Amino acid sequence: MIPAAFDYIVPDSLEAAAASLAEAGDNGKVMAGGHSLLPMMKLRLAQPGVVIDLKRLDSLRRIQVDGGTLRIGALVTHHQVETSSEVKDNCALLARVAGSIGDPQVRNRGTIGGSVVHGDPAADWPAALLAMGAELTLTSSGGARSMAAGDFFLGPLTTAIEASEILTGLSVAVPAAGTRAAYRKVKQKASGFAIVGIAVCLQADGDTCTDVGIGVTGLAGTPFRATAVEDQLRGKALTADNITAAAAGVADGVDALDDIHASGEFRAHLARLNTARAIQDALGG
Amino acid sequence: MSNTTTIQVRVNGVSRTEEVQPRLLLVHYLRDVLGLTGTHIGCETSLCGACTVMVDGAAVKSCTLLAVQTDGCEVETIESLATDDGLHPIQEAFWDCHGLQCGFCTPGMIMATRQLLQENPSPSEEEIRHGLEGNICRCTGYKHIVDAVKQAAEQMKAGT
């Protein structure tokens, strides 16, 4: 499997990268680690005439905490997120999700920005980013804009990014002390992609749920936030019965993916089961 | 399109300057241009790990990397391990413990093991299995591979 020929550009600055992308238009593709783009190019599902490699943009490789916000650059690898003390100390959920992606070699090379912008419906990051209400930064030669993760994912391999834009990073609010979080995934054995993945981030006062975010990946063509489940849990006692009852609605009205790895019916079952389990995991038992 | 890009890369300690097409995959560069056929092409979809090499000290799947992405990098392949004095302890351990049958996955297994033992010189069985998750073997059932990694870990610790 060999990609179609293309021109290869390695810009020295974000401005130059944005200018190259603007010039290439629909014919251009931005590459970070290449672990989503190259497989597409090898299958000739993507045949960009111009590939713009961001590898020299070290400013996009940073993880920073400032003023209660954790910022992760688009070129940060899954391995860096998994092992970063800033992430582990401030938002352990993201480190756990990173460590569940693919395998060590993939985590060494694949980046958070590349994965998010690829929009695979079975990728791990969207679950966590939706549960946490992450904000994405999209930059073009015309400037930068911010977009909520909830508005970004539109369908299988389809996101709200414009052809002229580069995802440069993302941010999440550092969760308040006492926030509990968990990620549960049933994975496809060979690739590690989620057949169903559920990220939960919740706050409780005693045993009463005061706030909760639940992100679901793998179940549908678009990762989504399980707002109906969240609404049913807020203000309720986090008893096993209440959790199971709320989780039972996670697949309601969802057009579940159906493929050789799992039928739609089975995926919906796994989603209900693992939503309840992820909430229990977050509660620590 | 016949455009080419010049890359400078150190492969197994030897500096090289090459004119390559941007679409040339690292694994094809290693095998077809440099003749380093120890790195195997398995699934070509970054699942099986047969093509694992080290780039700047990190294990990667060379079927999912362009040669041009390694411009300025240090690449190490399975051929870098044995010396005139003999096999590397990981290679010895795979031999001793029958960590292979057909041997197709072995170069990738060994390079992934190398990365694992760099980060964690005393891995538990669970950590070994987790660390080799990106490598598939269709012969051994993994038991002997895990044994080989344990033996290699012991020998490498004893040797340092």
Contact A39 B64 (CB under 8 A): yes
Question: Is the domain of B11 the same as that of B73?
Answer: yes
Count structural domains, chain B: 2
Q: For all residues of chain A together, what is the average pLDDT? A: 97
Asked if B69 and B108 sit in the same domain, the reply is: no
Rounded to a whole number, what is the distance in Å from the CA of A42 to chain B's nearest CA? 9
pLDDT above 70: residue B1: no
Task: Tell me whether the CATH fold assigned to A7-53 matches the one assigned to A61-173.
Answer: no
The whole-chain average pLDDT of chain B stands at: 96
Q: Choose one of B53, B80, B107: the last residue of a domain.
A: B80
Cα A151 to the center of its chain, rounded Å: 13
CB A45 within 8 A of CB A8: no
Closest CA to A274 of A233, A234, A218, A231: A218
Which of A3, A53, A105 shows the shortest C-beta gap to B61? Answer: A105
Q: How far apart are CA A132 and CA B158, in angstroms?
A: 46
Q: What is the mean pLDDT of residues A87-92?
A: 96
**Confidence class of residue A190 from pLDDT cuts 50, 70 and 90?**
confident
Do both B71 and B103 map to the same domain? no
Question: Are B75 and B95 in a shared domain?
Answer: no
Give the right CATH number for A181-283 from 3.40.190.150, 3.30.390.50, 3.40.366.10, 3.50.50.60: 3.30.390.50
Name the β-bridge partners of A217: A197
- Chain A hits for B49, CB-CB cut-off 8 Å, are 103, 105
- ipTM exceeds 0.90: yes
Q: What is the pLDDT of residue B159?
A: 82
Residue in chain B nearest A79 by alpha carbon: B58
Exposure letters B44-80 (e unless 16+ CB within 10 A, then b) = bebbbbbbbbbbeebbbbbbbbbbbbbbebebbbbbb
What percent of chain A is predicted at pLDDT more than 90?
Answer: 97
Residue A88 above 60 pLDDT? yes
> Cα torsion at B128, B129, B133, B135 (round to 10°)?
80
Where does the pLDDT of residue A191 fall: very low under 50, low under 70, confident under 90, or very high at 90 and above?
Answer: confident
List CB contacts (< 8 A) between B45 and chain A. Answer: 1, 39, 42
Distance from CA of A8 to the nearest CA of B (A): 6
Note whether B16 and B26 are within 8 A (CB): no
Which residues on adjacent β-strands are paired with residue A137? A146, A169
Q: What is the pLDDT of residue A213?
A: 98
> Nearest CA to CA, how far is A102 from chain B (Å)?
7
Would you state the pLDDT for residue B2? 61
Confidence band, pLDDT 50/70/90 cuts, at residue B105:
very high
Shared domain for B18 and B38, answered yes or no, is yes
Q: Where are the beta strands (DSSP E) in chain B?
A: 5-11, 14-20, 52-55, 58-61, 74-76
Integer-rounded Cα radius of gyration of chain A: 19
Give the CATH number, domain containing residue B10. 3.10.20.30
Q: Which amino acid does the sequence have at A86?
A: E
> Which token pair is A124?
């791990």
d(CA A144, CA B94): 52
Whether residue A270 is predicted with pLDDT greater than 70 in this model: the reply is: yes
| Percentage of chain B lying above the pLDDT 90 cut | 96
Taking Cα atoms as reference points, which of B6, B70, B11 lies closest to residue B36? B11
Q: What average pLDDT does the segment A157-170 reach? A: 97
Of A8, A42, A103, the CB nearest to B44: A42
State residue B3's pLDDT score. Answer: 86
What is the pLDDT at residue B122? 97
Burial class (CB in 10 A: 0-12, 13-18, 19+), B159: exposed
Is the domain covering A61-173 a CATH 1.10.3720.10 domain? Answer: no
Q: Are A202 and A186 in contact (CB under 8 A)?
A: no
Question: B98 and B75, same structural domain?
Answer: no
**HSE-CB for A238 with a 13 A CA cutoff:** 24
Tell me the pLDDT tens digit for each residue of B125-150: 999 999 999 999 999 999 999 999 99
Instruction: Give the CATH number, domain containing residue B107.
Output: 1.10.150.120
Contact A71, A171 (CB under 8 A): yes
Cβ-Cβ contacts under 8 Å, A51 against chain B: 22
Model confidence at A285, in pLDDT bands (50, 70, 90)? low
The rounded distance, in Å, linking the Cα atoms of B139 and A120 is: 32
Q: Where are the beta strands (DSSP E) in A119-247?
A: 135-140, 143-148, 153-155, 158-159, 166-173, 180-187, 194-205, 208-217, 224-225
Q: What is the dihedral of CA A104, A107, A110, A114, to 10 degrees?
A: 150
- Which residue type does A184 have? R
Residue B160 reports pLDDT greater than 80: no
Residue B80's pLDDT band (cuts 50, 70, 90): very high
B71 and B118 co-located in one domain: no
Provide the pairing of β-strand A135-140 with A180-187: unpaired
Residue of A nearest to B70 (CA): A55
Same-domain pairing of B17 and B56: yes
Rounded percentage of chain A residues whose pLDDT exceeds 70: 100
Assign 3-class secondary structure to A168-188. Answer: EEEEEECCCCCCEEEEEEEEC
Q: How far apart are CA A250 and CA A275, in angstroms?
A: 7
Confidence of residue A189 (pLDDT cuts 50, 70, 90): confident
- CB within 8 A of B111, min separation 6: which ones? B52, B53, B54, B59, B76, B77, B78
HSE, side-chain direction, 13 A CA sphere, residue A236: 16
Q: A-chain residues within 8 Å CB-CB of B62?
A: none
CA distances from A217 to A74, A155, A168, A177, B44 (A): 20, 12, 22, 26, 26
Question: Which of B56, B80, B104 finishes a domain?
Answer: B80
Nearest-angstrom CA–CA distance, B51 and B27: 7
Q: Where are the domains of chain A?
A: 7-53, 61-173, 181-283
**Are residue B67 and residue B100 in the same domain, yes or no?**
no
Out of A2, A103, A190, the one facing B23 most closely (by C-beta) is A2
Q: For residue B152, give its domain range.
A: 89-158
Q: How many CB atoms sit inside 10 A of residue B5's CB?
A: 18
pLDDT in tens, A128-159: 999 999 999 999 999 999 999 999 999 999 99
User: What class does CATH assign to A7-53?
Assistant: alpha beta
